Amino acid sequence: MVGEPVTRIRSEQEERKLPPLPSRDRYKEIRTRFAPNPNSVLHLGSSRPAILSHDYAAQYGGKFILRFEDTDPRIKRSDLKFYDYIREDLRWLGCEWDEEYIQSDRMKIYYEYAEAAIKGGSAYVCTCPQEKFKELTLASKACPCRGLDTKEQLWRFREMVEGGYKEGSAVLRVKTDLDHPNPAVRDWPAMRIIDPASHAHPRVGSDFRVWPLYNWASAIDDHLMGITHIIRGQEHTTNAVRQMYLYAAFGWEYPTTLHCGRLTIEGGSLSKSEIEKGIRERAFDGYDDLRLGTLVALKRRGIEAQAIRKLVYELGVKPSDAVISWDNLFSINRKLIDGVANRYFAIIDSPVRLMISDYPYSETTVQLKKHPDRAETRHITVKKNGQDLELWVERSDIERIGKGNEFRLMGLANAVIAEVDPAVAKFTGNDVSAARGKQHIHWLPISDHLELELINWENELQHGMIETNVASEQAGSHVQLERKFFAVVEKAEAGKVKLIYTSA
């Protein structure tokens, strides 16, 4: 599991460190956590807190914790498959975790602290209708339940747990400050009832009817797990304020928080709910549908995890949202894949047969480098059919070069265009040096090539042809179609080659 990629990440981190972590000196060991709800897969936006949390822990020799927050079996219900999908996404991102927790396994803990908070007078069971509570709280007034004595509160809480209250009729609240300028902070809800009969939890079934809300479970876990730094989205800034009241009540020290803005990609990276909806309704083929901003889709398109990491480093921990451009991501990615992508000739846009007259050889095998920086070679053989040599080339190339101009068929020969349409050229020699400064174009033998299926940037299927050498590529490897673009191999078999466009 800790193979070569991780080594690469380590050296990458040395090359480009994150800015110093605030108040790092207050803790003997830095402990961070990433806490997703397993109700969908990870997307580009999730990678920001995930990478920052993981890498900050790594940078200071600390621990990174993965915590599944699956405490809503009703509205944001989790699904068994996502626990594993998220683990896979995280591994791919290079965010291996040191400890893992699942909140639905920790229900007893949340109950215990609930009773402790009630006994300590910092929490109470509220049976007011939501509307009425809101009305009171907006007026900075206490609801009738707030003042009930501890014994009564405890009895009420046990009633919640044992089924004395119906779903929605009672909630555990944390006492804060009814005069707090932000009404959202006043006596926030900590635990509520969800009818287990109609909303079974995917992992623990119908064992519980009282479930913690985000602020309760998260606050208690962060303390119990010794989290020193919480790095999460800015939508949680108010939650930090809320939770501090609980921490104060228990005499705990609240972790240092870093809130970062949303990270989306231009053209609208989709939200979790949109992704789920689209997949349910079959608007998308799956989580790796190229139109999605999910990690699996980005991976499939040929974006390296390392590119995402670099991007996140570039963005830093600013609280403002960032809409990054594909160009930006591609550019970072290109630097990573350029060194590994083997080169091949492919003709997609406008194949045209070019007739080359006076070609002196009946058969020629050219040797080309698989990659300009490496010695490995690939070979293409062309055969004359009768008098002339025929090749596939791109019509646009012939048109651009124009009649009467000399050009170079890369690795093969020099020629002068005699006619653009139909495309005819006259052989002028083999010497590369004679083609200095001339246009170099790629080509393919008339019969010896493979059919190519390409999923282009617009997510459309395009047909073309590609040199046979590509058949030796593994699925998932990067290739560059010379003079055209980078792509990922989805399938490379003798009969059919399927590529996915990555970027220019």
Q: In whole angstroms, how far apart are CA 228 and each of 7, 231, 255?
A: 26, 10, 5
Q: State which residue, 171 or 488, has the beta carbon closest to RNA.
A: 171
- Residue 264 touches RNA, criterion: CB under 7 A: no
**Part in contact with RNA (CB under 7 A); list of ranges 165-173, 246-254, 447-455, 457-465:** 165-173
Q: State which residue, 268 or 372, has the beta carbon closest to RNA.
A: 372
Of 47, 56, 65, 75, nearest in space to 103 by CA: 65
The 239-258 site mask, x for binding RNA (CB under 7 A), equals x-------------------
**Part in contact with RNA (CB under 7 A); list of ranges 35-43, 88-96, 351-359, 452-460:** 35-43
CB 102 within 8 A of CB 201: no
Q: Rule CB under 7 A: which of 197-216 touch RNA?
A: 211-215
**3-state class of 163 per DSSP?**
coil
Of 225, 215, 244, nearest in space to 66 by CA: 225
Q: State which residue, 69 or 390, has the beta carbon closest to RNA.
A: 69
**3-state class of 437 per DSSP?**
coil
CB of residue 440 vs RNA: minimum separation in angstroms?
Answer: 4
The 301-330 site mask, x for binding RNA (CB under 7 A), equals -------------xxx-xxxxxxxx-xx--
**Residue 184: CA atoms inside 13 Å, Cβ hemisphere, count?**
10
Give the angle 38-39-41 at the CA atoms, nearest 5°: 75
**Part in contact with RNA (CB under 7 A); list of ranges 67-75, 79-87, 244-252, 450-458:** 67-75
Of 62, 56, 58, nearest in space to 29 by CA: 62
Q: Rule CB under 7 A: which of 402-441 touch RNA?
A: 408, 410-412, 432-433, 435-437, 440-441
Distance CA 34, CA 393 (A): 51
Of 5, 224, 202, nearest in space to 99 by CA: 224
Q: State which residue, 292 or 312, has the beta carbon closest to RNA.
A: 312
Longest CA–CA span in the chain (Å) reads: 104
Q: State which residue, 434 or 461, has the beta carbon closest to RNA.
A: 434
CB of residue 297 vs RNA: minimum separation in angstroms?
Answer: 20
Long-range contacts of 313-320 (CB under 8 A, 24+ apart): 313/16, 313/18, 313/51, 315/48, 315/260, 315/263, 316/18, 316/19, 316/260, 317/19, 317/52, 317/231, 317/258, 317/260, 318/260, 318/261, 319/234, 319/237, 319/259, 319/260, 319/261, 320/261
**In the block, which residue shows the tokens 């989580």?**
287
Q: State which residue, 314 or 493, has the beta carbon closest to RNA.
A: 314
Distance CA 461, CA 57 (A): 43
CB 490 within 8 A of CB 475: yes
- Residue 182 touches RNA, criterion: CB under 7 A: yes
The 365-404 site mask, x for binding RNA (CB under 7 A), equals -xxxx--x---------------------x--x--x----
* Options 59, 234, 256, 428; binder of RNA; rule CB under 7 A: 234
Q: State which residue, 151 or 400, has the beta carbon closest to RNA.
A: 400
DSSP secondary structure code for residue 443 in this structure: -
CB of residue 475 vs RNA: minimum separation in angstroms?
Answer: 22
**Part in contact with RNA (CB under 7 A); list of ranges 24-32, 418-426, 452-460, 480-488:** 480-488
Q: State which residue, 114 or 289, has the beta carbon closest to RNA.
A: 114
Residues binding RNA: what is the number (CB under 7 A)? 83
* Options 51, 143, 193, 307; binder of RNA; rule CB under 7 A: 193
Q: State which residue, 76 or 403, has the beta carbon closest to RNA.
A: 76
**Ramachandran angles phi, psi of 167, nearest 5°:** -50, 130
Q: Rule CB under 7 A: which of 108-137 touch RNA?
A: 128-130, 133-134
